[in-house]
Structure 1
Amino acid sequence: MTREHLRPVLQPTADFDWIIGSDEPGAAHRLAEETSWALLDRVRNVADPDVVARVIGLASGPGLGDIAELWARESEHSLAGVLWRLYLLRRAVASDPEGAADLFRRGSEVSVTIDRVVAGAAEPVTTDAISALCDTILRGAFVGDVGAALDRASSYARIMALGAADLADSRDAYDDAHAAQLTTRALRYSKLAHELHGGARRWRDGTLG
């Protein structure tokens, strides 16, 4: 851990709905901050593979909705915000593994950086490989070096941005609507990459909220 933090009991949805909708300034932010640090602390201290698997599995299950209620509004300056962004990357793969694998392959082909190496994708980049990569990155945030996991996620997002931009170029001549959608996706991945890179830096210098 890089800072002192509270360890509240994780509350079920019914117990914190009133806080999410509260008019009290900062109530939702405080809950997001406390739950993110408490979850990270619990997983690290328990070190139970089943617990880790359940936490990772939230990305593809209904539990993601509860996390979204708590963390989706948080900035990249907070632990809740960067963990939420990791879950988003994993959810995108769970929603379309074939499409994600294709974007990563395309991005890797046009990249002139070491991002593919940093991300650590296995060869060949299949749907299973891309899913395993995102699982590994998310798992690393909970049981490994948070900064390293965020760096890997940032590199992964940059590769995906390149892949989406490359696919947009190939579709531009005959499908403007799809090309525009892909361009938007590329910009979103690029923004995520920037935010996750900043999160890694803040984790290391102890300023992640």
Structure 2
Amino acid sequence: MQIPAFTPEHAQQLSTFLASHGQAMTLPQSQGYLFAVICSPEPLDVHQWLEVIIPDTQGQLDEQVLFAFMGLYHQISEQVYETGFKLPVSLKHHDDNDSYLDLDDCQMWCQGFIQGAQAYYNKLSQVTDLDTALLEALQTAYASLGFFALEADVIAAIAKQNNLSEVQLAQSQYELMGDFALGFAELIEIIAVQSGLYSEEDENWS
């Protein structure tokens, strides 16, 4: 199957399709979830991750929609392992209004990321003889990539604790997300192999 390049038209197609299915993820949630899946030491096949994104479809999707999803998966995978990952979501704020901040897209991406990464994060972070520096790197990366999934009052409390405005904190955390996303797959691979739970031969790391 020739996988198409993922285009803005595909993004709009998937947004519309997902919005029409009440139990489905949004597109940003799907993007965060697939990023986590692609970085996972336990790869999922297409039908497994589609069932999470769009429950109760049993993989029965229109061919165009399926091709768009495959294009999205391929785009994220290519960025993760070849060209450098770029967050598909951004903060929305007005330069002339320091109190305005829309975190919705970032929040949804982080929610999807946590849903995709939580199981293997929990497994890896509980390895007793894991190098301390690697464990700290894993914990920091996971917290950063899931930051905007925190409740609004928690984010506000963190900002106050650090004498920052919520806008300043959000901008700082967004930049950290981008930095950690670049190396997250490599970090997971290193930790997974060191944990003894996985071997490079068993997995499909690129």
TM-score scaled by length of structure 1: 0.27
Q: In proportion to residue count, which structure has more strand?
A: 2
Q: In proportion to residue count, which structure has more helix?
A: 1
Bigger relative contact order, structure 1 or 2 (CA pairs below 8 A, ≥6 apart): 2
